[in-house]
Amino acid sequence: MTARLIDGDAISRRIREELAVRVRRLRARSGVVPGLAVLLAGDDPASHVYVRNKQRACARAGISSVRYDLPATVTTAELVELIGNLNHRDDVHGILVQLPLPPQVQVRRVLEAIDMGKDVDGFHPANVGGVVVGEPLFPPCTPSGVLELLAHEDIEVAGRNVVVVGASNIVGKPLSLMLVNHDATVSICHAKTRDLAQFTRLADILVVAAGVPGLVTADMVREGAVVIDVGINREPGSRRIVGDVDFEGVRRKASYLTPVPGGVGPMTVTMLLQNTVTAAERSHSAAVDRQMSHPA
Ligand SMILES: Nc1nc2c(c(=O)[nH]1)N[C@@H](CN(C=O)c1ccc(C(=O)N[C@@H](CCC(=O)O)C(=O)O)cc1)CN2
Ligand SMILES: [Mg+2]
């Protein structure tokens, strides 16, 4: 069997075109332009690339974005203060703090400072709680991107065995809960799981988000399984990016496979744009409601 590749770039393009239409409609009826504030601390080269890609994607969709470049020495208090100011700005509908943050910063406190209604990354603990009960205000971007890819290919998750390798706060844990909420039978593993292959071989759908290049090889995959590779690993000394899955080997065994690059990565950015447009639409609707109940 040779896997069908799930083209995250092409699926993203289509969704981004639809988002650009929503942005134009909102602007035409209300004058509101969705606005995203992006906070970037330090000089991690990959983070700079991701932020640049996000801002470029915003511009193409008609979303305005403003970037705050903060030194690697930034403190938790400084970030919390900046977020407090952005929370009060009417032209900022979404606030994104690029992760990872420098080691001295208390990530939890920073994420908790973001107004829930502007938490377009879905990282605020209240949004994480929303994921648990199946109603997040904003679903986290990479997990919702994975679900979009599956839905786009008409891959049913209800009743299927899904194995998620990697239990990070931003991908593995929320994605597992979102899959449970779609009636999947979910096992969560780690790169360290003893005899990982005995679990991965049970998967109808295998999601790998462990950050370990080439962790999953063909012998670990059931014939005909759907394999979603969330890994983004830079090969030392090269600009090449590889996933967590041995692409060539697994491609001969799986029914569907996401490439790296061009699979889940672009969907993360697309879901961020989607959440930002939703935030702006909600903020406008709330303003209209206030106006109706307290006319000037
Ligand atoms: N605040 C956040 N921080 C981080 C997130 C996040 O969703 N919110 N996720 C990752 C990084 N990330 C977005 O920030 C991200 C990573 C990769 C891609 C992507 O499109 N990758 C491309 C390859 C890009 C390249 O050349 O490097 C692909 O896979 O095709 C998008 C977003 C951690 N931090
Ligand atoms: Mg990602």
Say how far apart CA 123 and CA 110 lie, in whole Å. 10
Domain shared by 99 and 160, yes or no: no
Give the ipTM: 0.95
Domain shared by 102 and 176, yes or no: no
Domain, as residue range, for 167: 141-265
Task: Enumerate residues with CB within 5 Å of ligand 2 (an ion).
Answer: 142, 268
Domain shared by 187 and 261, yes or no: yes
Domain shared by 39 and 154, yes or no: no
Domain shared by 224 and 258, yes or no: yes
Domain shared by 178 and 104, yes or no: no
Using the predicted structure, report yes or no on whether residue 238 has a pLDDT greater than 90. no
Using the predicted structure, report yes or no on whether residue 160 has a pLDDT greater than 80. yes
Catalytic machinery residues = 54, 98, 121
Note whether residue 232 is domain-resident: yes
Domain shared by 254 and 164, yes or no: yes
In this prediction, residue 287 has a pLDDT band, given cuts at 50, 70 and 90, of confident
Note whether residue 15 is domain-resident: no
pLDDT digits (tens, 9 = 90+) for 77-93: 999 999 999 999 999 99
pLDDT digits (tens, 9 = 90+) for 166-182: 999 999 999 999 999 99
What residues contact 288, with CB distance under 8 A and at least 6 apart?
Answer: none
Strands 205-208 and 226-229: parallel
Structure tokens given for 212: 């370990």
Closest CA relative to residue 92, chosen from 32, 50, 155, 46: 32
Residue 193 near residue 223, CB atoms below 8 Å = no
Note whether residue 270 is domain-resident: no
What residues contact 277, with CB distance under 8 A and at least 6 apart?
Answer: 19, 22, 23, 26, 34, 61, 63
Q: Is 72 annotated in some ligand binding site?
A: no
Say how far apart CA 252 and CA 275 lie, in whole Å. 36
Closest residue to atom 34 of ligand 1, CA basis: 99
Q: What pLDDT does residue 127 have? A: 95
Domain shared by 43 and 97, yes or no: yes
Q: What pLDDT does residue 173 have? A: 98
Domain shared by 57 and 108, yes or no: yes
Residue 234: strand pairing partners: 241
Note whether residue 130 is domain-resident: no
Give the CATH number of the domain where residue 170 resides: 3.40.50.720
Domain shared by 147 and 80, yes or no: no
Note whether residue 128 is domain-resident: no
Residues with CB under 6 A from ligand 1: 49-50, 53, 96-99, 121, 141-142, 170, 232, 241, 260-262, 265-266, 268-269
Q: Is 232 annotated in some ligand binding site?
A: yes
Q: Which of 99, 115, 131 is the last residue of a domain?
A: 115
Give me ligand 2 centre to Cα 258, in Å.
Answer: 13
Domain shared by 160 and 203, yes or no: yes
Ligand whose nearest atom lies closest to the CA of 232: 1
What residues contact 22, with CB distance under 8 A and at least 6 apart?
Answer: 277, 281
Note whether residue 61 is domain-resident: yes
Closest residue to atom 13 of ligand 1, CA basis: 50
Distances in whole angstroms, Cα of residue 124 to Cα of each of 96, 115, 119: 11, 8, 7
Note whether residue 167 is domain-resident: yes
Pocket test for ligand 1, best of 5, 12, 16, 50 (most atoms within 8 A of CB): 50
Q: What pLDDT does residue 236 have? A: 81
Looking at the CA of residue 140, tell me the nearest atom of ligand 1.
Answer: 7
Note whether residue 159 is domain-resident: yes
pLDDT digits (tens, 9 = 90+) for 27-82: 999 999 999 999 999 999 999 999 999 999 999 999 999 999 999 999 999 999 99
Give the CATH number of the domain where residue 110 resides: 3.40.50.10860
R_g of the chain computed on alpha carbons: 20
The verdict on pTM exceeding 0.90 is yes
Looking at the CA of residue 99, tell me the nearest atom of ligand 1.
Answer: 3
Structural domains of the chain, count: 2
Say how far apart CA 160 and CA 153 lie, in whole Å. 15
Q: Is 167 annotated in some ligand binding site?
A: yes
Task: Give, to the nearest 10 degrees, the angle between helix 264-293 and helix 8-30.
Answer: 20
Domain shared by 107 and 155, yes or no: no
Average pLDDT score over residue span 97-118:
98
pLDDT digits (tens, 9 = 90+) for 177-210: 999 999 999 999 999 999 999 999 999 999 999 9
